[in-house]
A and B are shown apart, each in its own frame.
Chain A
Amino acid sequence: METLAFLIRRVGQAVMVMLIISLIGFSIQDNLGDPLRELVGQSVSEAEREALRDRMGLNDPFFVQYARFLGNAVQGDLGTSYFFKKPALEVILRKFPATFELVLAATLIIVLVSVPAGIFCAIKPKHIGARLIMGLSIVGISIPVFLTAIFSIYLFSIELGWMPSFGRGDVVELGWWNTGFLTGDGLEHLVLPAFALSSIMLPLFIRLIRGEMMEVMRTEYVRFAQAKGLHPRRVLFVHALRNTLLPVITVGGVQIGTLIAYTILTETVFQWPGMGFLFLEAVNRVDTPLIIAYIIIVGLIFVITNTIVDLIYTYVNPMVRISGVKG
């Protein structure tokens, strides 16, 4: 019952955000795109154009047009790409697996490295390894993602020739999905982009986890757990880690937007055939329907992942489960 109320409120919020994003998308279309230009050439007379505008509803009031846009959008119709001459949604979704797999790989790197490294730096702050990690992390934070990407290409692809420098390599088609996870070539192509994409978040999370962990290790409940004679591993992983992860999950939620922005940079450098790369091409070609489709899809991804993060947070933190009902 509590979870249901929480879910309803959360979905309500998500719908609000999507409405705002769709309004932005629509205003862009309204101001940028001239659908007529794409449909008919210069040869059509002004009177004919006007008649056509009327027939297409382009002279309707703003909100009537917006409602129509929204109705179409809900049914999956986000217009037709000027360049590809195909439905914009279809074009974008075709590129979704590439971006998704890149983000998934980068997230795995971030989680699998930052949690152990952060814990290590917190419980052994004076260890030479911990000092090294902390020193490197401030340098890591100061190197922009696209530079990490460029120099990893320069070093590993051009100079050493160990890694492919661009593209996704061989992919396997699985229905409408295509994956690079199943071929050696695909995995090889994934290594550098995933590393580059994780390169700023990783030190950020190591520092965050270290700081939170050190704070938690000083709390009374950790001391009490020690005084109960629990095994140090249990104190660390059951008592300290869960409390450490609460703020980390919150920050993770806030960083989703940044991670999506970084995919645009990473995909540009590696010519990774994902949505971000497609988006920049669309910007250069002034392919308005594609630009709008990208914004709306990214908005949707953002809203969905944020809801998932919130649900995880609620699951880990019992205090929210209760206050969710009261508040």
Chain B
Amino acid sequence: MALLEVRDLEVEFAMRGARLKALRGVSFDLDAGDRLGIVGESGAGKSMAAYAILNLISEPGRISAGSIAFDGRVLNTLPAEEMRKVRGDRIAMIFQDPMMTLNPVLTVGAQMVECLKTHRTISDGEARALSVQKLREVAIPSPDARFDSYPHELSGGLRQRVVIAIALLLDPAVIIADEPTTALDVTIQAEIMGLMLDLCETRGVSLILITHDIAVVSETTQRMLVMYAGRVVEQGETRGIIARPSHPYTRGLLQALPQRNKPGAELNQIPGSMPTLAELPPGCAFHPRCAYADDTCSGGVPALRTLGKRLVACHHAERLK
């Protein structure tokens, strides 16, 4: 049995009388020490999946179907108090923008210590020592002084290191990182990503990496999910998918990468943009932007089916092979 098993997860939002499905039938497994990538444009439902795992979907949204099993327990039916004990302790999360993630009116130290004290019985002195040690592990210079700093006194890179330190504080089994480097300067993105991957690797922490950047996923994960408009469109081993994508959308994402294009040539962007949940086209949600689309595509939603060693949701997956 895998460490984390997500089955047929659906998230629904009640908006002005209508019910919009932000997530439809997402399933995946995550083994201990594994790294899973979730890729897609913004609005595809990637972050929704992360929040759903932690049962943090807020009104008017809710998990409407499916199950999330972690370490043999079903999380989505756990009493609120039990679920709270899992968050931060067994499953931690790293958010996108470190400028917004840390509370501006509390010191770095206070935001670390409160986490320790919530989940463990620990003295103030021990909590401080442990927090400073974690700050040191994420390579923050003079961690003792930084412990008493306020977030606005730190640079973006340092803040994201603090957030990583908080995520690692209680040695969780899983870390969910939602676009952990997107908001940072390009120059330090690689550094922070490397740090995070190193720390997860040495501690045997499983990682779910959520990003719009398929290149990052291809370099760092063993398995991956490609999402579009709330659905998984392709899923399997990263290496295989990157080498030979079976879904036109995955292929589009790969072709849009600058390193896949010849210098001076125009980038191969996917035309158009992702539809909002309220105005999904009939059939395959991707068909208006797809070069392979025909009448079958607008006629019915393609099921996620097995194709070789992977899953793909496309009527014409064979034509891409």
Instruction: Say yes or no: is B97 at the interface (Cβ < 8 Å to chain A).
Output: yes
**A238 & B114 in contact (Cβ 8 Å cutoff):** yes
- Pick the contact of B84: A231, A239, A316 (CB < 8 A): A231
Q: Give chain A residues whose Cβ lies under 8 Å from the Cβ of B54.
A: 227
**A234 & B105 in contact (Cβ 8 Å cutoff):** no
Assuming the A-B contacts A242-B105, A318-B104, are A228 and B95 also in contact, with contact meaning beta carbons closer than 8 angstroms in the complex?
no
Instruction: Say yes or no: is A317 at the interface (Cβ < 8 Å to chain B).
Output: yes
**B153 & A230 in contact (Cβ 8 Å cutoff):** no
> Contact string, A223-242, partner B, CB cutoff 8 A, digits 1/0?
11111111110100011001
**A221 & B101 in contact (Cβ 8 Å cutoff):** yes
**A230 & B150 in contact (Cβ 8 Å cutoff):** no
Assuming the A-B contacts A238-B114, A319-B152, are A224 and B95 also in contact, with contact meaning beta carbons closer than 8 angstroms in the complex?
yes
> Contact string, A214-225, partner B, CB cutoff 8 A, digits 1/0?
000001110111
- Pick the contact of B88: A219, A229, A242 (CB < 8 A): A229
Instruction: Say yes or no: is A322 at the interface (Cβ < 8 Å to chain B).
Output: yes
CA distance A316 to B105 in the complex (A): 7
> Contact string, B69-88, partner A, CB cutoff 8 A, digits 1/0?
00000000000000011111
The chain A residue sitting closest to B150, CB to CB, is: A318
> Contact string, B26-56, partner A, CB cutoff 8 A, digits 1/0?
0000000000000000000000000000101
CA distance A229 to B152 in the complex (A): 24
Instruction: Say yes or no: is A243 at the interface (Cβ < 8 Å to chain B).
Output: yes
Instruction: Say yes or no: is B182 at the interface (Cβ < 8 Å to chain A).
Output: no
- Pick the contact of A229: B87, B97, B150 (CB < 8 A): B87
CA distance A232 to B84 in the complex (A): 9
Q: Give chain A residues whose Cβ lies under 8 Å from the Cβ of B95.
A: 220, 223-224, 227
Instruction: Say yes or no: is B261 at the interface (Cβ < 8 Å to chain A).
Output: no
**A318 & B105 in contact (Cβ 8 Å cutoff):** yes
> Contact string, A185-218, partner B, CB cutoff 8 A, digits 1/0?
0000000000000000000000000000000000
Q: Give chain B residues whose Cβ lies under 8 Å from the Cβ of A231.
A: 84, 118
Instruction: Say yes or no: is B166 at the interface (Cβ < 8 Å to chain A).
Output: yes
Q: Give chain A residues whose Cβ lies under 8 Å from the Cβ of B150.
A: 318-319, 322
Assuming the A-B contacts A220-B97, A231-B118, A319-B152, are A226 and B87 also in contact, with contact meaning beta carbons closer than 8 angstroms in the complex?
yes
**B118 & A230 in contact (Cβ 8 Å cutoff):** yes
CA distance A142 to B203 in the complex (A): 62
Nearest-neighbour CB distance to chain A for B22, whole angstroms, equals 16
User: Which A residues between 126 and 178 are near B, CB-CB below 8 angstroms?
Assistant: none
Nearest-neighbour CB distance to chain B for A226, whole angstroms, equals 6
Q: Give chain B residues whose Cβ lies under 8 Å from the Cβ of A234.
A: 114, 118
Given contacts A227-B56, A229-B87, 12 further A-B contacts (CB under 8 A): A221-B102, A224-B102, A224-B103, A227-B95, A229-B88, A229-B115, A229-B118, A230-B118, A242-B106, A318-B105, A318-B150, A319-B150
23 CB contacts below 8 A, A to B, read A221-B102, A225-B103, A226-B87, A227-B54, A227-B56, A227-B88, A227-B93, A228-B87, A228-B92, A228-B114, A228-B115, A228-B118, A229-B85, A229-B87, A229-B115, A230-B88, A230-B118, A239-B106, A317-B105, A318-B150, A319-B150, A322-B152, A322-B153
